[in-house]
Structure 1
Amino acid sequence: MRRITIWLLSTVAALVLLFSYRTSTMGAGGETGAVATGSDPGGGTWSGADGGPDASGGGTGSSTGSGSGTTGGGSSTGGDGSTTGGSGTATGSVAQTRWGPVQVRITVAAGKITDVTAVQVPDGNRRDQEINDYAVPILRQEALAAQSARIDSVSGATVTSDGYRESLQSAIDAAHLR
């Protein structure tokens, strides 16, 4: 009888601990928030000295929104729609992941991606920070090597990798790179 009582109390204690554990997806009040699974893929912004490939005159050299056109002058477009010149930065749209927002900014020179910077990554707890301290440099290196958003996920950081790719593609679209 004593063994049954100890077993029952242990089980109840374990269940109480299990259900009282708070994860990083819970808000400050303990309620879980809705998770967005995507964003506007062309929602990045372009800010460049050459204005972009769709030159239409003497504007400001910046484009914001769907990436359908830019103002400014100086860059040309190749036959396949890729940028053949131009430099500046493009910030991708914010990719909402289950662990938090991910956003990247690319630097472009002569139509090539020369740098990728993570503007936002999930940082809700110490584990998120550890994962991203490991994963973001790998994702950056992959993006620079591939010159596109076709990069592999980092093991253990799949959600962040997906958000990184989504924001990176948005930045590439805003810069009118292929």
Structure 2
Amino acid sequence: MRRAVLATTGISALVIALLSLKPHHLPAIAGSPPARPSSSPHTSTSTPPGASTGTGTFTGDPIDTQYGTVQVAATLSQGKITAVKVLQAPDSNGRDQQLAAYALPRLTQEALGAQSAHIDAVSGASYTSQGYIQSLQSALDQAHA
């Protein structure tokens, strides 16, 4: 009986230790370039007073993810995001299509609300979300260049 209590306690402590080591960040996307540091002048989506603002449609870079390529085009009017169109999304199977149909409208809604690429990923579609965010940021960088 004593051994069972000691074994159960030891296993419980091991499980707790392993759970505390679980990473709490989004996985990196295979084949994508590393994120730019936040001090880069092109990562800011706000335009300082007196600077030119982007107007037009800007196509973001295609971002290769583990499940396929994600690419968006952002339409801006006087520096404000008015629309985001998904040009490419993972669709090689039914599950990819289902995730894209669920995640992409939510990501677009968040981007329009935030007026930037600093948005939360959609749970269950983290690779697609990260590809969307990176492609949107590259489109915004072009608009503000």
Task: Give your verdict on TM over 0.5.
Answer: yes
What is the rounded CA distance, in whole Å, between the counterparts of 1:167 and 1:91 in structure 2? 8
- In structure 1, runs of 5+ residues without a counterpart are 1-34, 42-66, 68-76
Tell me the SS of whatever aligns to 2:72. strand
Structure 2 unmatched ranges of 5 or more:
1-29, 37-41
Alignment of 1:15-164 (within 5 A): 35-38=30-33, 78-79=48-49, 81=51, 83-84=52-53, 86-164=54-132
Matches of 1:90 and 1:40, distance apart in 2: 20
Two-structure CA RMSD over aligned residues (Å)? 2.3
Distance (Å, rounded) in 1 between the aligned partners of 2:50 and 2:111: 21
**Structure 2: how far apart are the matches of 1:149 and 1:87?**
17
- Contact 1:95-1:102 at 8 Å conserved across structures: yes
Q: Give the structure, 1 or 2, with the largest relative contact order (CA under 8 Å, sep 6 or more).
A: 2
Identity between Structure 1 and Structure 2 (%): 51
Matches of 2:34 and 2:72, distance apart in 1:
14
Paired residues of 1:96 and 1:163 also in contact (CA < 8 A): yes
1:132 to partner: Cα distance: 0.3
What TM-score results when the alignment is normalised by the length of structure 2? Answer: 0.67
Kindly state the Cα deviation for residue 78 of structure 1 after the two structures are TM-superposed: 4.2
Query: Greater Rg, structure 1 or structure 2?
Result: 1
Scaled by the length of structure 1, the TM-score of the pair is 0.55
Runs of 4+ in 1 over 3 A off after TM superposition: 77-81
More helix by share: 2
